[in-house]
Chain A
Amino acid sequence: MKHVIIGAGPSGVIAAETLRKLDSTSSVIMVGDESEEPYSRMALPYYLTNKIEESGTYLRKDADHYSDKKIDVIRDRVSKIDTKAKSLKLDNHSAIDYDKLLIATGSHPVSPPIDGMELPGIHSCWTLEDGRNIIKRAKPGANVVLMGAGFIGCIILEALALRKVNLTVIEMDDRMVPRMMDQNAGNLIRGWCQNKGVNVLTSTRVDAIEKANGGALKVRLNNGDALDADLVISATGVAANIQFLAGSGLKTDFGVLVNDRLQSNMPDIYAAGDVCQGKDFSTGQYTVQAIQPTAADHGRIAAMNMTGKNMLHQGCVNMNVLDTMGLISSSYGLWMGVDGGESVKRCDNDRYRYLSLQFEDDILIGAQSLGLTQHVGVLHGLIRTKLKLGKWKDNLLKDPTRIMEAYLGTTQAIGHNAGII
């Protein structure tokens, strides 16, 4: 059996390791189009702040990891898949045959349709190479404009601020992280960042970027203002890497369409991670989540199914955790709630604390938190297990901070409940 994986991000690497663990004899080939060791984009902000070296971003730290596991790593780009011949064509014109194929090609940053985006000094923050370029320009005191205050923009924001640049953030939407947090939380994050010296402009758009004197840039905004910039970082969204699949016969939408075994419309081809339009646990809909835990889950489950196991993918809970200059936020599942559901919110805006829980019947379906670092994972657990909270739902409506007690009180053998003393 010959397993081939396209993509060397978290999903691809975890799939390769899982394949090797389950099947010690088959050949496992992983093709990645970046020249680096497989690395984590999640770690790039920490590379920008010098918390880690480049090697600190690597997904696996042992230099011989892949050869020890007999995983062949090929550094090239797949230009085409011939699904009839079950063969991949590489940019160097060689071909690789496969028995089972995993598409884990991830996503790429989308460049907004703005005049001047091709000018030097405008970068995404997506690859290690982007990181190197940003470090060159983001010197202390440099004027930096960050386009986009979504999850990725906000993760970079802290790194840029720590590099002591003069930072302005531009967000089209009316708040920061609009797809992760509600108005109240988004506004609190903005207030927090502004207090720390970052200029945040929401409901604002970049109209054009022009060359200015001395190699600098001029960023023109829709409110008529113009900002000087030594560096512009574009973080306005990502899209799945499916372009190379055109004409292959694989069905795609926002990503590769898969069933609940992460199998595409071609039985020997699977998809995982940012490129995979997989099942969302909360809605049952098939969507591209593009988050690290989902990439890891997909990689493992797809690999198990590739070896002939029949693993049902029950869907991933969409969730994020963010640190904006020391203010930690997280959101889970249907954080915006559902019609006919119930919710509870607690705000302490002066202290930047916020907790919001969403219920359907007596089941937690979504949550948002700001300023909470202890036991936050239980929010994920309560959503994922669809635990019937019974009387603990009423307790949570009175005091939503007692999430751990709700979990323990509902599931654990406590005192007389235990029935064993």
Chain B
Amino acid sequence: MLRSLQIEPEKCTGCLQCEMACSYQAEGVFNPSKSRIKIFAFHHEGRFVPYTCTQCTEAWCMHACPVEAIVINQVTGAKEVVEDICVGCKVCTIACPFGTVNYNQDTAVVQKCDLCGGDPECAKACPTQAITYVASEQGGINRMRAHAAENLPQDNA
């Protein structure tokens, strides 16, 4: 069963536990700037939005990579960066239209969410279940429908 990260921004309090957990898992340090998941703050609305790679099927980053350094994990479906192969050309960072592949100047390779091999630390660290790891078919599609329905008549007002 393929699983995905489900993100429910309305439950996010902006505590950044997920960023700390991600950074520690991926880099061995507690440094939110190294995190693959990011919390974006909307202070005027009092809202926080966690956002990371959605592991899209026809992954732009993977197709754009000139040296086959981004590969599919056949178990989790994640698109993973193979650090030994990545040359650091950064083409994937501009190809990804969601902005979720970032270049790390310290390691000179790119970094993105790899779902922690199937046990994502961000979901475990989230105290309000704003980030959960669920069966893919339960994922975001219903939320996207609800949001689209809400916004259609107002013409993006």
Contact = CB atoms under 8 A, between A and B. Distances in A.
A196 interface: no
B85 A415 contact: no
A133 interface: no
Main secondary structure of the interface of B (DSSP, over half): mixed
B1 interface: no
A220 B46 CA distance: 63
A135 interface: no
Given A404-B51, A412-B49, A413-B143, A57 B67 contact: yes
Interface stretch (A210-218, A261-269, A323-331): A323-331
A14 interface: yes
Contacts of B97: 377-378, 380-381, 384-385
Nearest to B71: A61
Given A43-B66, A43-B87, A390-B156, 13 more contacts: A61-B68, A323-B88, A376-B94, A380-B94, A380-B95, A384-B97, A403-B99, A404-B99, A408-B40, A413-B9, A413-B144, A418-B9, A418-B10
A375 B99 contact: yes
B87 A330 contact: no
A330 B94 contact: yes
A56 interface: yes
Interface residues of B, number: 49
Contacts of A114: none
Interface stretch (A182-190, A198-206, A292-300): A292-300
Contact of A419 (B40, B95, B150): B150
A204 B128 CA distance: 61
B47 to A, nearest CB: 4
A408 B51 contact: yes
Interface residues of A, number: 57
Contacts of B129: none
B81 interface: no
A319 B95 CA distance: 9
A192 interface: no
Contact of B42 (A300, A407, A414, A418): A414
A321 B90 contact: yes
B87 A373 contact: no
Q: What 5 A-B pairs have minimum CB-CB distances, sorted nearest first?
A: A381-B97, A378-B99, A375-B99, A40-B66, A377-B96
